[in-house]
Chain A
Amino acid sequence: MTNQDNFTKFINKYPHPHLAYFNRPHLSRRSFFNVAGAGLGGAWLLNREADACTVQTAQKVTTKNTAKNVIFVLMTGAPSHTDTFDLKVINGTTPAAMNPTTFGGTNWPVGLMPKMAQQLGKMTLVRSVRSWALVHSLSQTWTQIGRNPAAALGNIAPNIGSIVAIEKDPQRQPGQIFPAFLALNSAGGIGNGYLPANYAPFRVAPNAAGLPNTVNTLGQTPFNTMYSRLHQLDDNLRRNSPLGAPMDDYDAFYASAQQLMYNSPVASAFSFPGSESTRYGSSSFGNACLVAKQVLAANQGTRFIQISLGNWDMHQDIYGAQNPKGNNLFNLCPQLDNGMSALVADLDQAGLLNQTLIVLAGEFGRTVGPVTPAGGRDHYNQQSVIFIGGGTRGGKVIGTTDATGSDTTDFGWSRQRYVRPEDVEATIYSALGIDWTTVRCDDPLLRGFEYVPFSSQDLYGPINELWA
């Protein structure tokens, strides 16, 4: 029996990952009370130690610990892997304008993504990835939480970024005032789950003018006067409040919010000139990449940045044969190419690429071979995931698919089975030095929340080949 067969057998028998209560690690429970008040993306000013309980690990593992930060690009709608990162040239189907080119054995559509082609040496293409499901919202959630959303705790599971935020909270330095988890163009993204609100994604749609609502329309000096008037009137209710502790907590949020206002690191990291936006491709995705770079360069405590880039769900006219101006690969890929290539180049130049792991993933792939009668591609399990930087080696391909890209022929990594979202999750944690077998004991059902499901059975794990 192969590893994949064993894995399939196990997962069919135990699709619901969680630890039973009595198997949970011995715990020392702290009160949620103080953490609950600590803040959205802003706990840093209040409770550095805000860890709701002592976490334990399922196994002794060695993490890679080569990355400080993660940029997670979620390509929603699911990109066609065989037209992009696992390019298969099909006579009569693949448009010549895609300019398929081979770089040391790796096919790449230079016509779609010319700039990223120049950076293949920094990139690892993992082509043996297989999604679990083919429903957009379900699989997008799966990708962001690294587990089955229908599983126990699945509907209250935190975003991977929230786990990173709570794990990295103790490393926050005095004076660092940015949220740990920043979500750019990710309005519908998964939030903090059951974790306190201070580990929720700080959701921003990048804007040249900067972070919304960090300036007041009346101006700074009037605002300061107004703010002092508020305290003059309200301190007897918001400081040592006779009405209860939540009032004091709310005042602390105000204090943190005021620090974000008229603050030059905040203003310079979140705003940008038109020339820079142009360099990143003049798209909302490009602007998000630009802000991500500026935020990491500011070194203000942000550790996980999620960026969403949508419109990959090309059931019709994927090559723009019928409507060149419609939503097709020739119009969407340049956004990715311009933004991502500028981000990689700038991080590299700033010496940040080595400590920043960039992950690009869709929620699944698309059908292979000739396009459908509608000229598009439908949902399909096989997909690719790309890793850049963060101490990974780059310049390689992991996993091989068959001639059409419909299935994996060589898994290309030590576990000798498909790479799953849970493995990508474990890879992110390992890169950041977070033990992916950690079990939290603060979940509301008191069942034990595993960072990566089935950690006690070692079912999933990092793709260590990225570093080899």
Chain B
Amino acid sequence: MTNRVKRTVPVAAALILATTAGLALLPAQSLFGPELPSDPICTRFLSMGRQIPGDTGGGSVASPNAILLGRLTESITGQLPVAEVSPGGSRTSTAVNTANLGLVDQYIFSALESAGIQPAEQTTDWEFIRRVTLDLTGRIPVPARVLSFVSDTNPAKRTALVDELMASSTWVDKWTIYFGDLYRNNSANTQIRRSPGGVTAFHDYIRASLQQSKPYDQMAKELISTQGTDSYKTGEINFNVGGVVTGGPVQDVWDQQTANIADTFLGVAHVNCLLCHNGAGHLTTLSLWGGQQARVAAWGLSAFMTQTYTQAFLVPPANNVYYWSIIDTNAARGPGKYSLNTTTGNRPQRQPIGAVTAVTPAYIFTGEVPQAGENYRQALARMVVADPQFARATVNYMWAYFFGVGLVDPPDTFDPLRLDADNPPPAPWTLQPSNPRLLNALTTAFIANKFDVKWLMRTLVNSQAYQLQSRYNGQWNVAWNNSFGRKLVRRLWAEELHDAIAISSNSVPTYNTTNYGVINYAMQFPEPLAVPDGLAGKVSGFLDSFLRGNRDDEVRSGDGSILQALNLMNDSFVMTRTSPSTPVSALLPSNIGKSNTDLVNTLFLAVLSRYPTAAELATASTNLANVQTRNQEAQYLLWSLYNKVDFTFNY
């Protein structure tokens, strides 16, 4: 259940993750003894500081188009360009405009002010278009769009760009992967197989829902309550198929399906704990709400699944794969109640409580029961989406993705009794969200905007908070990471790196996959695929090394590794695309005839979505100066760009 955690939290956020998940609320003595232990590692890290390099490497802005830059700079700041180091061929960052703060910004910037944290400056246009294009579509922007964007004088060009990106097919690609991760759409997990037929149907369902801008409450309702006789045809039933567990009674299946719903749509992973035991003594110090809950209340939630039968059927004639049906019935197959009659399985025995031998549905957070004759799962779906916690959890998942750390983090550890700033929990508990009023305002507005996911994304990425630089000109304290005073960087997803290398080099591969036809972009894989690359052997190892996860027991992660460095430096997927001559590479052969300055500018723009700084241009040009070694040096340069951290990261 907590494998959602790593998915959205980059390395930089991990300290917050480690220190906010319920620990901070406790008096130091009860946990640590008389005094807090000194922490040499943390101290050492903090003392390293984040100094700005003394040598900024040059005084003037390098660009092939001084006119463009001059106009650009004027249009944004009304000032001359400021000499700076990369990234950003021009420094046109600005201070935050505090005159007109929107929904997000009024809460973030007042919190920063009261905490005495100086926010970073606003992104340059170069930084912004790369960041937002990657975040919304998983692609790097193409050079022509970068140039047209920075030269655009429309003051509303950033919001226009956001709308343009969200209308693109690449937006659908990226978010199909995101929700495929969230719903764990894979052909096999530790317990069961969905098979490629199920994956395809589920993938198509997610794609179609995004293309239609389906309201998220409707999507959640469908995923929770749809019935179907064939998981290869009714894609959305594959969500509940993922709750099937073997080696136990049917209650184990209902419990896991319930836990998945609570985790995915309500961000309350502790329901899974309560399905085994009372909260008292287990969650007492972890969740104010959870500590008060009894197992029988969680059974009441699970009882919404008790009309539901999830069955596998072999696919003839081979009979070696199976599909699933999920059908609800009152009479024919079962009692429609949760019997307390188990002694074996994956969860502790369920035995009668006094005279009570079975539990009927009741929504754990309110006690609401289904209406007379109402289908249980439809009743559950209705209650879930009407629960403000549904909107709150969704807002928080999105926040965690766009800002690198959730307002509640990990995003599925919500404590429902510690969320209301006007009704704070009793001491020693503290409010759980890092900015409870912001979370509340976003939640209310998300509901008012009819659970429109695009509205939510637009609201987040159009905020000045999102558009702050990751560059910070001062001493940054890691404890500030959940103040959002700078943008936290994230390493590109495996799929993003793959596609960025392919697109920038004009060498997009063709994968003839066994089960899913021809696919060119990793961001279009229905699941984390092992793919052949006709050009360079297997690329699966390359993709896996960037921790794309398997939607089961390996979670997507933004961690770095030595293997990643080895692959970026030496893998044939990269090396063939840096060559000045081989047919695989298109970028260098088609530009090698340009002048040194043009060549350097072209390569920087194609790979890093920006022009070089003056210092970078000077360095690269010097290396290219010797005609004898020019081709070689051009390859070194292109290779270096693919290995620069401002390529590997969204910053």
Residues in A lying within 8 Å of B, measured CB to CB: 12-16, 20-22, 26-34, 36-37, 39-42, 47, 49-50, 52, 132-133, 135, 137-138, 141, 148-152, 155-156, 187, 190-191, 193-194, 196-198, 200, 202-203, 212-218, 222-223, 225-227, 229-230, 232-234, 236-247, 249-251, 253-254, 256-258, 260-261, 442, 444-447
Are A141's CB and B553's CB within 8 A?
yes
Contacts A31-B42, A197-B557, A229-B637 given: A244-B31 contact, CB under 8 Å? no
Say how far A376's CB is from chain B's closest CB, in angstroms: 14
Can you list 21 contacts pairing A with B, beta carbon distance less than 8 Å? A15-B347, A22-B282, A31-B45, A33-B14, A36-B14, A49-B40, A135-B191, A150-B245, A150-B256, A155-B190, A155-B553, A212-B571, A217-B572, A225-B636, A229-B623, A229-B637, A237-B644, A245-B478, A247-B489, A442-B18, A447-B286
Given A32-B14, A37-B11: A257 and B640 interface contact (C-beta under 8 Å) = no
Contacts of B277 in A (CB 8 A): 16
Residue of A nearest to B48 (CB): A240
Q: Which residue of B lies closest to A19 (CB)?
A: B282
**Complex CA–CA separation, A399 to B616 (angstroms):** 70
Instruction: Answer whether A138 and B644 are a contact pair too, CB < 8 Å, given A244-B488, A257-B566.
Output: no
Query: Of A21, A41, A190, A261, which contacts B283 at CB under 8 A?
Result: A21
Residue B570 interfacial (CB < 8 Å): yes
Chain A residues with Cβ below 8 Å from B11 are 33, 36-37, 245-246, 249
Asked whether A226 lies within 8 Å of B636 as measured between CB atoms, the reply is yes
For the complex formed, measure the closest distance between the CB of B152 and the CB atoms of chain A, giving whole angstroms.
Answer: 25
Known: A26-B33, A226-B636, A240-B50. A197 touches B189 (CB 8 A): no
Contact across chains for B42 and A30 when beta carbons are under 8 A apart: yes
On chain A, the residues within 8 Å of B633 by CB distance are: 229
Q: Which of A137, A237, A258 is close to B645, meaning CB atoms less than 8 Å apart?
A: A237
Q: Are B86's CB and A155's CB within 8 A? A: no
Q: Which residues of B contact A149 (CB under 8 A)?
A: 190, 553
Q: Is the CB of B348 within 8 A of A241?
A: no
Over the window 35-74 of chain B, the binary record of Cβ atoms lying under 8 Å from chain A Cβ atoms (1 yes, 0 no) is 0010111101100111111011100000000000000000
The one of A49, A214, A218 that contacts B566, using a Cβ cutoff of 8 Å: A214
- Chain B nearest CB: distance from A66 CB in Å? 31
Minimal Cβ-Cβ distance residue in B for A254: B565
Instruction: Decide: B570 and A213 in contact? CB cutoff 8 A.
Output: yes
Which residues does chain A contribute within 8 Å of B268, judged by CB atoms? none
Q: Given the known A-B contacts A30-B41, A32-B17, are A253 and B564 also in contact in the complex, defined by CB atoms under 8 Å? A: yes
How far apart are the CA atoms of A442 and B555 in the complex, in Å? 17
**Given the contacts A16-B347, A244-B489, A21 and B559 also touching, CB distance less than 8 Å:** no
Shortest distance between the CB of A49 and any CB in chain B (Å): 7
Bound Cα distance from A191 to B51, whole angstroms: 36
A216-B575, A253-B565 are contacts. A150–B191 as well, Cβ < 8 Å? yes
In the complex, chain A residues whose CB is within 8 Å of the CB of B572: 217
B9-45 CB mask vs A (1 if < 8 Å, else 0) is 0111011011101110000000111000101111011
Give chain B residues whose Cβ lies under 8 Å from the Cβ of A258. Answer: 565, 569
Which of A194, A246, A446 is within 8 Å of B649, CB to CB? A246
The contact of B50 among A49, A191, A222, A245, by CB within 8 Å, is A245
The chain B residue sitting closest to A215, CB to CB, is: B570
Classify the interface of chain B: helix, strand, loop or mixed. Answer: loop
- A47 CA / B45 CA spacing, docked (Å): 12
Contact residues, B166-183 vs A (CB, 8 A):
none
B643 near A28: Cβ-Cβ < 8 Å: no
Given known pairs A22-B284, A32-B15, the reply for A232 and B619 (CB within 8 Å) is yes
Interface centre among B48, B273, B282, B553 (most CB of A within 10 A): B553
Residues of B within 8 A of A245 (CB): 11-12, 45, 50, 478
**Which residue from A32, A148, A194, A226 sits with its C-beta under 8 Å from B346?**
A148
Q: Write the nearest CB–CB distance from A183 to chain B, whole angstroms.
A: 12
- Cα–Cα, bound, A256→B39 (Å): 25
Contact between chains at A246 and B41 (CB < 8 Å): no
Verify B561–A152 contact, CB threshold 8 A. Answer: no
Task: Name B residues whose Cβ lies closer than 8 Å to a Cβ of A.
Answer: 1-3, 5, 10-12, 14-15, 17-19, 21-23, 31-33, 37, 39-42, 44-45, 48-53, 55-57, 85-87, 188-191, 245-247, 252, 256, 269, 272-273, 276-277, 281-286, 343-349, 410, 413, 470-473, 476, 478, 486, 488-489, 491, 541, 544-545, 547, 552-555, 557, 559-567, 569-572, 575, 616, 619-620, 623, 632-633, 635-637, 639-641, 643-646, 648-649, 651
The minimal Cβ–Cβ distance linking A217 to chain B, given in whole angstroms, is 5
Q: Say yes or no: B50 contacts A444, CB within 8 Å.
A: no
**A261 touches which of B44, B256, B570 (Cβ 8 Å):** B570
Taken together as a complex, chains A and B put the C-alpha atoms of A251 and B51 apart, in Å, by: 16
What B residues does A233 contact at CB under 8 A? Answer: 616, 619-620, 637, 640-641, 644
A254: chain B residues at CB < 8 Å are 565, 569, 643
8 tightest Cβ-Cβ pairs between the two chains A and B: A40-B561, A42-B562, A257-B565, A197-B559, A33-B15, A213-B570, A32-B14, A28-B37
For A237, list chain B residues within 8 Å (CB).
Answer: 85-87, 644-646
A95 to B478, CA, bound (A): 68
Within the complex, the shortest CB–CB distance from A7 to chain B, in Å, comes to 13
B637 touches A213 (CB 8 A): no
Q: Are B636 and A138 in contact (CB under 8 A)?
A: no
B15 near A152: Cβ-Cβ < 8 Å: no
**A20-B281, A444-B17 in contact; A33/B569 too (CB < 8 A)?**
no
- Find out whether the CB atom of A13 lies under 8 angstroms from the CB atom of B348: yes
B2 touches A444 (CB 8 A): yes
| Beta-carbon contact of A251 and B645 below 8 Å | yes
* CB contact under 8 A between A31 and B15, given known A137-B191, A236-B86, A261-B570: yes
Add 14 more A-B contacts to A226-B635, A254-B643, A261-B570 (CB < 8 A): A15-B347, A34-B44, A39-B560, A39-B562, A156-B2, A156-B555, A197-B547, A203-B544, A218-B635, A229-B637, A236-B85, A237-B646, A246-B489, A444-B21
* Docked-complex contact A242 and B52, CB < 8 angstroms: yes
A424 CB to nearest chain B CB (Å)? 19
Known contacts A213-B570, A247-B645, A257-B566; A240/B51 CB under 8 A: yes
Residues of A within 8 A of B14 (CB): 31-33, 36
Q: Is the CB of B559 within 8 A of A196?
A: yes
| B42 and A33 contact, CB distance less than 8 A | yes
When chains A and B are docked, how far (Å) is the Cα of A49 from the Cα of B39? 12
Task: Looking at the assembled complex, report how far the CB atom of B517 sits from the nearest CB atom of chain A, in whole angstroms.
Answer: 23
| Residues of chain A with a CB closer than 8 A to B347's CB | 15-16
Closest Cβ of chain B to A34, distance in Å, is 5
Distance A217 CA – B50 CA, assembled complex (angstroms) = 36
Minimum CB distance partner of A40 in chain B: B561
**List of B residues within 8 angstroms of A445 by Cβ:** 2, 269, 273, 286, 413
A234 touches B644 (CB 8 A): yes
Residues of B within 8 A of A243 (CB): 470-471, 489, 645-646, 649, 651
**A150, B42: Cβ atoms closer than 8 Å:** no
Pair A34/B41 contact, Cβ less than 8 Å:
yes
In the complex, which residue of chain B has the Cβ closest to the Cβ of A149? B190
Report Cα–Cα, A364/B3, bound state, in Å: 27
Write the nearest CB–CB distance from A462 to chain B, whole angstroms.
25
CB pair B645 A27 closer than 8 Å: no
Contact: B31 with A27, CB < 8 Å?
yes
- Chain B residue numbers with a CB within 8 Å of A196 are 559
Beyond A15-B347, A21-B284, is A246–B644 a contact (Cβ under 8 Å)?
Answer: no
Asked if A151 and B346 sit within 8 Å, CB to CB, the answer is yes
C-alpha gap A149/B553 in the complex (Å): 9
Q: Please, which residues of chain A bring their CB within 8 A of the CB of B191?
A: 135, 137-138, 150
A226 to B633, CA, bound (A): 8
A256 to B562, CA, bound (A): 6
| CB–CB B348/A226 < 8 A | no
Flag if B86 contacts A213 (CB, 8 Å): no
Contact B570 A217 (CB under 8 A): yes
CB distance from A422 to the nearest CB of B (A): 15
Given A21-B286, A33-B45, A253-B565, does the pair A15, B12 have CB atoms closer than 8 Å? no
- B50 with A244: CB separation less than 8 A: yes
Q: Which residue of B lies closest to A216 (CB)?
A: B570
